[in-house]
A = this chain, B = another copy of it.
């Protein structure tokens, strides 16, 4: 499994916030309830997202979280990298330092670089708005403006 719960739950959170975009702050408890996840765990995940500037928070009663910019401006790759670290297949690709002693000889490293590139091509080409659109398509919801009023 490439993604741990950090990445997977984080993506669900961000999708939920994207669906709520423009409607004010959304408390974490609501997100946790909608997705049937532990809100205390989600707390830990949203913290780095806030510190990275992807979401903003409002403290106190009637507070909550919202996206810091519009969904189309947030790439899935950003979210994943913040929560999971890089998805490189081996450390040497990550840090530029060879893992094995035979630095110059290493043909596996070339492979790792290609895998990394393949993954990044996907996750950096998809943004939250794309996922929102997918969400509506999946639910046959043609009336996009009112998409969330029945939730």
In the complex, the count of this chain's copies comes to: 2
**Residue A36, interface by CB 8 Å:** yes
Report whether B138 and A107 are in contact in the complex, using a CB–CB cutoff of 8 Å: yes
Which of B106, B117, B118 is within 8 Å of A138, CB to CB? B106
Spell out A's residues near B (CB within 8 Å): 1-3, 7-8, 11-12, 15, 35-36, 76, 87-91, 94, 99-101, 104-108, 110-112, 114-115, 117-119, 121-123, 126, 131-132, 134-135, 138-139
Given A2-B89, A11-B111: 14 more A-B contacts, CB < 8 Å:
A1-B91, A2-B2, A3-B90, A3-B112, A8-B89, A8-B90, A104-B139, A107-B131, A107-B135, A111-B131, A114-B122, A115-B119, A118-B119, A119-B119
